Structure 1
């Protein structure tokens, strides 16, 4: 049985700073309304957000300056000097900001500076300035505090005394893992800023890297917490599922990611599962969804796990989430609704554009030799329906026989590529009575050999995509194929059009490196029109 890491419940986990940074009480803005109004009026299109805790700007975004001579670091410093009042700073305050980091991201060079007071760092107070390639400031994010209020006092405890206070607080059986490091900083409290010894205490028992903030004047523990990042089982619900399907993989206990607090139902950031036959599954008091495969709630766990797996796969490819065209996602912050036990022994699974949700029937086998097994228990079936939802997110109402065939072909390909297995639906199709799978991406079907039925013709597209994957590798093929899907410029694409989009993606992002391979597979071998 998995439990929360015991040290996370230790008395040293105070985290009092949470009360300071999330008290919900807005401080009076230190910048007058006229100053901020003038600043924004002089910079058309600029936006400013306030930090309710500090009363200073949290973020300013827009064309904040004209080009400034010198380096990005110098440009950021010049901007801060010229605009100190809008940030709640004096000229002296700006000069006391010390550069602590610089990095480039998204076309901007970012410079981070630490706020200091009386030569000491103000804990957690820094400012980040983003400068473009013309040395124009485009972005400022800040956690600066305009007024560092420090109580006065004459007597100070020694660093040795502070160390002992921390060790005593950790308990008589404390076992150090390495030496204690320290710095002196100003730390925020609800009563003002306190000069403290910031000690970092690594221990084996209680396990952690403990951060202590001890008042240098009276030895009071102002705050303390464990900064070690545990893979905590306590807040990581678990369930038994099949990693692929019951025929190819054994039941495995997995972590169900992104389940929303209080972690008792299968309602997460990316998926909510609806059981059409019963109330929602409930986790036990150890946050486990532990159901046998014949229990109605097992399919909820299986589909939640599968959707999370597929969602992450597509996000790694650049998927934006179900946020624009998916009805369910728009209403639930990108979440996908997934339904299990749809219908009565229903032999299918589907994505419904009207609801923006995916659905899985129980199947009618055994009992019906021509039926299917439970469709919720196979990951690639879930991935196939998920891909339909992805396509509709970018291209709602794709139509035409070839448009629908591409829908199916893309869905087959990505479902199989995710699991690195060209066979689709090998569990849900009973082997003895049927061929043992729904479709196979590793095929040699030519475009002219297929009918206009979407699933049939889609096999030619999926097969071509799979052979491209075999030729150039999964990462390149997934990138090219997903890109070709995104840039479709019509709701009625033909196979020729989609193939041309593949060539376009290759030309723009890969310099035409794979042109010959694409043309050979899609045109010569598959007969897709030139």
Structure 2
């Protein structure tokens, strides 16, 4: 989501898991073990950083194995089977690690495995293993849990009853915009893991992708929160668009690349635009989408242009496309769907994980002096929501208040880095009624100075990333920051964990050249925990 939305204050936003994943109500676990010291001593130059809340490694990097036989998948599995104790698991635990994803980046093949216990997925617990072209394991990032205990008891609540409980909790006015999906998982609590129905409820009112975790034994809502993230050469048709926004750049004629033959609709290789107010735009006889800014079809052209540019930007960083976890992209060859004119005078933009699509409201200004202008006309708003979709492609259902804040911080940073402009939302926020922008990445906010609200806390992460960019340049910073997002080994990352992943990427790909700079900016200047 682009900025704060009233539905975020809905009572269904419990987010109780925060205390568990961030250790607010837990004691720290002692770190060192003789087994891990021996492991590192046998692998000169390797390093291991432990998550002090779980006692298990957050990451290992270096030459972690000799050349192994078989495929990269085989090598990753062999490594895990041979070193369960290093990762805080038993041999039986490793048998229940199931492959759920794989991708290539930075010269490595990454394989992600989900942790299961007694046949059920452990929510938020996975391990990511990176294997080089010699079939040697070079990096492991992990969110695995040790000694999982599950409350005994039989299932007493049916799935139908669980759906009714969730709908009732959302209120009598709830309106769905899609079917409720479900799976049974083990969910972490301070008392151990609980067997729950994990329901995803895509609602129009209150707007959100509501995640519910309902105890299968007694129907208790263990937790719930809103996972919606609000905020080649050939012939090509042309359109008039703003390269950034109506206030800062004039209308210019651009080619709309990758439009599918016969090139007459805004349906392309990377993007399909949906107009919620009217049938889609049709090209003119001169193969131009010529619409004035006040025409309903102008926003379609503007968003198509922006999505195509942002998609290419991320592809250049190593993005695999929306092919595995994005519900829309995986059945549409990696294409992203973008919706314009969402709602009625709606003052927001958002990414919906349940549909895999991005959405842009028209705003309520000037009729509402406190409202926003048309969000589809601001390039960085499109880039911000696109980034949420990128993160979700690799880390679906990333949760916790710090996970949500990192979602926003990464989205702010990449939207601004692409345009080489630290200001976000200058056009959509009318001045002088408001401050003239939504947020600014070129800030000095410390971690401790922010609230737990995701957009507020995310500014500290975006600010640290932007200052790293100022110090190292865009190319190096984008590589490190994108890599740190990619190799997150848990779906409940803290700022400390993400910062450690940044250091891990620097160590593995840059030989630790930027370690001191990263530590100074993220730890000393921003106060992100060491």
TM-score by length of 1: 0.56
SS at 2:527's partner residue? coil
SS at 1:459's partner residue? helix
Q: In the aligned structure 1, how far is the partner of 2:242 from the partner of 2:371?
A: 21
Q: In the aligned structure 2, how far is the partner of 1:332 from the partner of 1:504?
A: 34
Match of 1:455 in 2: 455
Offset at residue 376 of structure 1 (A): 0.0
Alpha-carbon displacement from aligned partner over 1:283-331 (angstroms, at most 9, x marks no partner): 0112110000000000000000000000000000000000000000011
Match of 1:299 in 2: 299
Q: In the aligned structure 2, how far is the partner of 1:502 from the partner of 1:490?
A: 14
Give matches, 1:21-100, under 5 Å. Answer: none
Match of 1:478 in 2: 478
Give matches, 1:500-515, under 5 Å. Answer: 500-515=500-515
Give matches, 1:75-154, under 5 Å. Answer: none
Match of 2:316 in 1: 316
Match of 1:358 in 2: 358
Match of 1:528 in 2: 528
2:241 paired with 1:255: no
Give matches, 1:41-440, under 5 Å. Answer: 235-440=235-440
Match of 1:466 in 2: 466
Match of 1:171 in 2: none
Alpha-carbon displacement from aligned partner over 1:140-190 (angstroms, at most 9, x marks no partner): xxxxxxxxxxxxxxxxxxxxxxxxxxxxxxxxxxxxxxxxxxxxxxxxxxx
Q: In the aligned structure 2, how far is the partner of 1:369 from the partner of 1:525?
A: 37
Alpha-carbon displacement from aligned partner over 1:85-112 (angstroms, at most 9, x marks no partner): xxxxxxxxxxxxxxxxxxxxx99xxxxx
SS at 2:328's partner residue? helix
Q: In the aligned structure 1, how far is the partner of 2:240 from the partner of 2:432?
A: 27
Q: In the aligned structure 1, how far is the partner of 2:399 from the partner of 2:379?
A: 27
Q: CA RMSD in A?
A: 1.7
Change (3 A) 1:370 1:261: same
Offset at residue 406 of structure 1 (A): 0.2
Alpha-carbon displacement from aligned partner over 1:365-391 (angstroms, at most 9, x marks no partner): 011010000000000000000000000
SS at 1:456's partner residue? helix
Q: In the aligned structure 2, how far is the partner of 1:508 from the partner of 1:307?
A: 31
Offset at residue 231 of structure 1 (A): 5.9
Match of 1:158 in 2: none
Match of 2:96 in 1: none
Alpha-carbon displacement from aligned partner over 1:382-409 (angstroms, at most 9, x marks no partner): 0000000000000000000100000000
Change (3 A) 1:246 1:286: same
Offset at residue 338 of structure 1 (A): 0.2
Q: In the aligned structure 2, how far is the partner of 1:280 from the partner of 1:449?
A: 46
Change (3 A) 1:313 1:516: same
Offset at residue 431 of structure 1 (A): 1.3
Offset at residue 512 of structure 1 (A): 0.4
Q: Which has the larger radius of gyration?
A: 1
Match of 1:167 in 2: none
Q: In the aligned structure 2, how far is the partner of 1:495 from the partner of 1:287?
A: 48
Alpha-carbon displacement from aligned partner over 1:338-360 (angstroms, at most 9, x marks no partner): 00000000000000000000000
Q: In the aligned structure 2, how far is the partner of 1:276 from the partner of 1:243?
A: 23
Q: In the aligned structure 2, how far is the partner of 1:361 from the partner of 1:451?
A: 27
Match of 1:123 in 2: none
Q: In the aligned structure 1, how far is the partner of 2:388 from the partner of 2:463?
A: 18
SS at 1:327's partner residue? coil
SS at 1:509's partner residue? helix
Q: In the aligned structure 1, how far is the partner of 2:515 from the partner of 2:412?
A: 23
Q: In the aligned structure 2, how far is the partner of 1:413 from the partner of 1:386?
A: 12
Q: Which runs of 5+ in 2 are unaligned?
A: 1-69, 72-106, 109-132, 135-231
Alpha-carbon displacement from aligned partner over 1:180-219 (angstroms, at most 9, x marks no partner): xxxxxxxxxxxxxxxxxxxxxxxxxxxxxxxxxxxxxxxx
SS at 1:236's partner residue? coil
Q: In the aligned structure 2, how far is the partner of 1:255 from the partner of 1:443?
A: 35
SS at 1:272's partner residue? strand
Q: In the aligned structure 1, how far is the partner of 2:297 from the partner of 2:515?
A: 48
Structure with higher RCO (Cα < 8 A, 6+ apart) = 2
Alpha-carbon displacement from aligned partner over 1:19-70 (angstroms, at most 9, x marks no partner): xxxxxxxxxxxxxxxxxxxxxxxxxxxxxxxxxxxxxxxxxxx99xxxxxxx
Match of 2:188 in 1: none
Q: In the aligned structure 1, how far is the partner of 2:379 from the partner of 2:473?
A: 22
Q: In the aligned structure 1, how far is the partner of 2:508 from the partner of 2:244?
A: 36
Q: In the aligned structure 2, how far is the partner of 1:368 from the partner of 1:403?
A: 33
